[in-house]
Amino acid sequence: MTETVLANNPLLDFSGLPKFNQVKAEHVTPAIDNLLSEARNIVETLSTATEAPTWQNFAHPLEDIEEKIARAWSQVSHMNSVVNSPALREAYNDNLPKLTAFYADLSQDERLYAKFRLLHSSPDYQSLNTAQRKIIENELRDFRLGGAELADDKKARFKEIQEELSQLSAKFEENLLDTTNDFSLLIEDINVLKGVPEDVIQAAAEAAKQDNNTGYKITLHYPSYMPVVQYADNRELREKLYRAYATRASEFGKPEWDNTQLIKDILKLRQEAAHLLGYKNYTELSLTTKMANGQQQVTEFLNTLGKSAKPFAQADMQELKEFAANKLDLPKLAAWDIAYVSEKLREEKYAFSDQEVKQYFPEEQVLHGLFKVTETIFGVHVKKSKAPVWHSDASFYEITDTNGKPVGQFYLDLYARNNKRGGAWMDEAITRRKKSHGVETPVAFLTCNFSAPIGNKPALFTHDEAITMFHEFGHGLHHMLTKVDEYGVSGIKGVEWDAVELPSQFMENFCWEWEVLRHMTKHVETGAHLPRELFDKMVAAKNFQAGMQTVRQIEFSLFDIRLHGDFNPNGKETALDLIEQVRDEVAVVRPPKWNRFPNNFSHIFAGGYAAGYYSYKWAEVLSADAYSLFEETGVLSQETGRRFWSEILAQGGSRPALESFIAFRGREPSIDALLRHNGMTN
């Protein structure tokens, strides 16, 4: 590999922001090979050094090389998610096993493990700061979980399992993306789309036009799919789309995109890994790094929440059935009717529609409202800036403190498009860390999948999408507003998985405050702010079907925790059998037998939520309770905002999340605020 090739490789330039305008698929392999070679040399030097290990001569240089690899790979991984192409996918898949193997080797290196143990028991340990001590404790735990204490033959098998799992998870996500991209429905007759909002029809016409077709192109991407099943009067069309969506990546499609066998293989490998480490099952292994105290506590938590929610969910369902039969001539509700009938019922009950509200949420105004909240409670300033991006949809911003000093920066990529993974997420581009030249400014990726602007009209968000925007920004703030200078526990690093959603769900609450919405709305045509009357209807409708939504989340959470717990992946029972059993216990909406939800449950098979999906509800308790202090002191209270920053956001993973929560709230979390926020108190 020539020096010139490496010198000109943008993935190896760590002097500033990523050079997305230069990164190409052919840069990936040389960059990763170079970094891994450098990393192995450093590991060898550190593990064979004869002097006593200290933070400076051992832990710090190890973090240096890990940070470089993470920065380079985050760019590759991000582009693979947002501008996927055959060449990029190939480069990603070629290098993923190398990285997995490197980290598996690292976590099993007995020499490094011994050095961390020495460092932990040395007199120097007590002189280290809290963050450094926490990193060393986490390292010791992760060496155990990485198989460092296993016999050589078991180590080799454990490493094989990690490599296989990373490839299977990537394949699971690819199959889902390919199936989603592959489906489209071309509708010639506009009458078939009766009831569908005008801007959705316009977007469908644009999509058809881009394919050199007349008519209207409907896809399974959420901004296209959801409004059709929610608004289309044509029941046959709703069924066709629902069936396609609910059977993605299953045996009903192309065999090469079927995730059924992948699910079995992933579960078997996870269980084998857990057994090798001495755990009863994967759930037990997964929970060792979380706030929750084991499967029993998680199950009890979900059951307690379920007991409160189930009567409300049953009442929601009964109301829906009666409305469908009496008002819409639908005596028997099918799965593809739920969203449609719910929207009709909501319009009748509260006299407004999502579509009406959407006209008040143009993109620029929503962002203005989000930044205003952030600026008010945290005393920072958010402004648009410039940086190379991967697609014309993406933009770049920076957050500065009262003195104009950079605190954090972030990229925004808001619109759905082909070759972009569905959903919404935050990821780390650069993590805050103190270096010889000063403190590295943290940089985040914030990605959503909303409808793009059409013609000269700006992108319009539904209220739910505005909430999603606040949610992801909350994750971003957790990453960007950290005040921890040590890489391993800076920002969201080292934060227990079931506490990671606290800042994101906390931020959602502001979307229900009049003094916030007043400023973040402006009608796309008249320029008028959201009328108070409409806002009051939205608040009245806030907990519409909260019971149904809660038991649905509990269904997914129980399925996940049991799938990785008591379920035997080598037995006759399938994942589908298990979800049906869970539904028998908690569900009020029963999907058809051909629904293949597990096949597209990427959160747990490709997204890091395995035996951790309950975290959404767990963290919702934390976030609702944290927000209740703002309700007591004033929702835009600067004093409470600064306290939230200093005790929760600033701390990163430098101390247990429960300690941070208690430091902020003055007590342990209580479930009461969540039930009250969801209207589930009698």
The residues assigned a catalytic role are 472
- Distance between CA atoms of residues 400 and 381, nearest Å: 5
The answer to whether residues 493 and 652 touch, using CB atoms and an 8 Å cutoff, is yes
- Residue 107 token pair: 């976590």
Q: Which amino acid is at 134?
A: K
Phi and psi at 242, nearest 5°, equal -60, -45
Say whether 172 sits in a helix, a strand or coil: helix
- Distance between CA atoms of residues 43 and 313, nearest Å: 55
- Distance between CA atoms of residues 46 and 41, nearest Å: 9
**In the block, residue with structure tokens 């399938």:** 574
* Max Cα-Cα span within the chain: 82
The sign one gets for the Cα dihedral 239, 548, 580, 611 is positive
Of 430, 408, 410, 431, the C-alpha closest to 484 is 431
The sign one gets for the Cα dihedral 563, 552, 602, 504 is negative
Q: Which residues of 235-252 are buried (b: 16+ CB within 10 A; e: fewer)?
A: eebbbbbbebbbbbbbee
- Distance between CA atoms of residues 351 and 361, nearest Å: 18
Of 632, 673, 549, the C-alpha closest to 541 is 549
- Residue 448 token pair: 């959503």
- Counting every residue written for the chain, the total comes to 682
Helix segments in 338-391, DSSP class H: 338-350, 354-358, 363-378
> CA-CA-CA-CA torsion for 413, 414, 417, 420, nearest 10 degrees?
50
Of 439, 425, 490, 410, the C-alpha closest to 655 is 490
The answer to whether residues 197 and 227 touch, using CB atoms and an 8 Å cutoff, is yes
Phi and psi at 635, nearest 5°, equal -65, -25
> CA-CA-CA-CA torsion for 502, 505, 507, 512, nearest 10 degrees?
-140
Phi and psi at 334, nearest 5°, equal -100, 165
- Residue 619 token pair: 């963290």
- Distance between CA atoms of residues 452 and 443, nearest Å: 24
- Residue 220 token pair: 């399974």
Of 82, 65, 39, the C-alpha closest to 424 is 82
- Distance between CA atoms of residues 528 and 356, nearest Å: 13
Q: How far, CA to CA in Å, does 255 sit from each of 179, 207, 251?
A: 11, 27, 6
- Distance between CA atoms of residues 408 and 396, nearest Å: 11
Q: How far, CA to CA in Å, does 355 sit from each of 7, 344, 349, 361?
A: 52, 12, 16, 10
